[in-house]
Structure 1
Amino acid sequence: MRLTSPAPTRSRLGRLLRERRGVAMLEFALALPVVLPIGLYAVELCNFGITQLRLSQTTLALADNISRVGVDTTIATQQLREADIGEVIEGLRQQAKNLSLTTNGRITISSLETKNGSQWIHWQRCVGMKSGVGYDSSYGRAGDGGTSGSSFTGMGIGGTKVIAPPNAAVIFVEINYDYQPLISRYFMGERRLHQTASFVVRDNRELATGITNPSPSVGQPLTCDRYSL
């Protein structure tokens, strides 16, 4: 019987312990399960912040545009038409095309005015497929207020409510939107983003008539009982 010497085995083991090739690859492989999720979370967090900013700017632009649009009348006033609302909404779709606002959220436009010395929501227009609590208006519906001593005192949260000055209107816009992740919902979970903005109507708008629908008329105004794109 021939016995082999353990020397070659010890020699190979020594060479293996002294080997330095592949160390960086091994360290990378060990660190990857920790580094990769942190990096992906950072990317998702940046996307979340950018989406918040875009949604805020979109809300401000919408409120600003609705407060400006209208057609001049013969008595130096402006009338707001259903067609004007539709054009502004179409501009919104183009501005926020990548967000798909009307698919993943709900937009509510309110005309906050005064009536009988009280705050009053004269009219509202809405667009978007989402419905229910958290998507429909959080601050009131068309017709709220308008009576002396009404509990409706404006639109907004707590002591920071927006109120309309006498004989004027404030366009109040509210957008509720389901955040669409860039990578995965694993990092941020289910998030509903909420933005509001308001602007006083600049021109001498005919407030008594509300929204008119002359020719070219709109067949289906964007009333808040409809849920559409």
Structure 2
Amino acid sequence: MIRFASKRANKVRATSKPLRQVFTDTSAVALTEFAFAAPLVLSMGLLGAETANYAIVHMQVSQLAMQVADNASRVGETQLASKVVYEDDITGTLVGAERLGERFEIYNRGRVIISSLQQNSEGGQWIAWQRCRGAKNYVSQYGTEGTGATGDDFAGMGKTGQVVTASVGTAVMFVEVSYTYEPITPFELFGSSELNYSAAFNIRDTRDLTGLKQRAEPVPVADCATFSAARPS
């Protein structure tokens, strides 16, 4: 009888041992915790990367607009009386923008518009000429070439309360950059956001304000009716 009870007790202990191991074994705790935490950590990492990239692209588009306006205000060939600006000077300025925005494909996803804001013969503001490049279907928000050619109804270029005007005998290079932001993560946290920046610089020297000139060998005009990432041809 005692021997039978002993065998039965041993059998119970042998059966319950695997169950105790299941509840007391901690060898896979770290792996289980990682499985639960990994999606959260990965999501936070992607959120941080997307936010950082979004902020960087914002800054780069803003700086590109400022740099293009600054470059356009300096170009030209000094002659006896005043600096003459040629079509290839502006084309070169747009090529410079291509180099600056190469990382985020500025002309494939965006558009750069350069306007020469001047005073007309009646003392009003007008857009004497305008050149553009980029595949994005975007037109100037403040007027196209020829706007304000006569009269004084055209106030200038820029947002309400921040309108830029040109003084008599000089010009302002007003640049608009529009860019469609593409997310780098599958979450599309910011969607396809439209980034729009503008910048303006007064021309640096006395300039021939009768318009852009062509050299002996004419170059294609960066016409604003064309929507293409390629160089004018």
Same structural fold, with TM-score higher than 0.5 when normalized by the shorter chain: yes
1:175-204 CA distances to partner (integer Å, 9 max, x unpaired)? Answer: 101112222362221111111110000110
Distance 1:31 1:185 in 2: 18
TM-score (norm 1): 0.90
Q: Secondary structure, in 3 states, of the residue corresponding to 1:54?
A: helix
Structure 2 counterpart of 1:223, one-letter code: D
Alignment of structure 1 residues 50-199 onto 2, 5 Å: 50-75=56-81, 77-115=82-120, 116-131=122-137, 135-150=138-153, 152-184=154-186, 186-199=188-201
Q: Secondary structure, in 3 states, of the residue corresponding to 2:85?
A: strand
Identity of aligned residues (%): 36
Answer whether contact 1:117 1:146 (CA < 8 A) is retained: no
Answer whether contact 2:182 2:191 (CA < 8 A) is retained: no
Distance 1:19 1:48 in 2: 46
1:110-167 CA distances to partner (integer Å, 9 max, x unpaired)? Answer: 0011111111111100000111xxx2111111111133341x2111111111111222
Question: Which structure has the bigger radius of gyration?
Answer: 2
Structure 2 counterpart of 1:171, one-letter code: M
1:51-96 CA distances to partner (integer Å, 9 max, x unpaired)? Answer: 1111111111100000000011222x11110011111111221222
Answer whether contact 1:83 1:216 (CA < 8 A) is retained: no
Answer whether contact 1:113 1:168 (CA < 8 A) is retained: yes
TM-score (norm 2): 0.89
Q: Secondary structure, in 3 states, of the residue corresponding to 2:221?
A: coil
Structure 1 counterpart of 2:50, one-letter code: E
Distance 1:185 1:205 in 2: 50
Q: Secondary structure, in 3 states, of the residue corresponding to 1:188?
A: coil
Unmatched runs of 5 consecutive residues or more in structure 2: 1-7
CA spacing shift, 1:190–1:6, aligned 2, 3 Å: farther
1:19-43 CA distances to partner (integer Å, 9 max, x unpaired)? Answer: 1112111111112222211210110
